Homo-oligomer: A and B are copies of this chain.
Amino acid sequence: MQMQIQNAFRALADPTRREIVQILASGDMTIAQLTDQFDMTRAAVKKHLTVLSDGGLITVEARGRERINRLEPNGLAPILDWFSYFDQFWDDRLNNLKEAIERNKK
């Protein structure tokens, strides 16, 4: 639904949450592990994780007494879909990104 787009954009609007996303890109982490990376309480990190989850950007897997936070690959889809509305404005850049990725694959 449309709310998903709003939640996704809102989730990425905060610098701490964007950093969490970047950290999780390099590997799954528990809440405690993530908290070690920031200068704030576990409760604050947990709130950010809830917002990220609402935005569909991460998934959480219960594992014993731990909660494994994992980046959701398809979470960026709604945002990219929204951007696709502006093809005529960022075609060139999109093509450049695509080419860079192609080079990386070789």
Stretch in A30-38, A40-48, A59-67, A81-89 touching the partner: A81-89
- Main SS of chain A's interface residues? helix
Interface size class of A (residues with CB under 8 A): 20 to 34
Residue of B15, B22, B91 near A85 (CB, 8 A) is B22
Number of copies of chain A assembled together: 2
Q: Is the CB of B91 within 8 A of A76?
A: no
Residue on B with the closest CB to A82? B18
Q: Is the CB of A77 within 8 A of B101?
A: no
Q: Which chain A residues have a beta carbon within 8 Å of chain B's beta carbons?
A: 6, 9-10, 12-13, 15, 18, 21-22, 25, 71, 73-74, 76-77, 80, 82-91, 93-95, 97-98, 100-101, 104
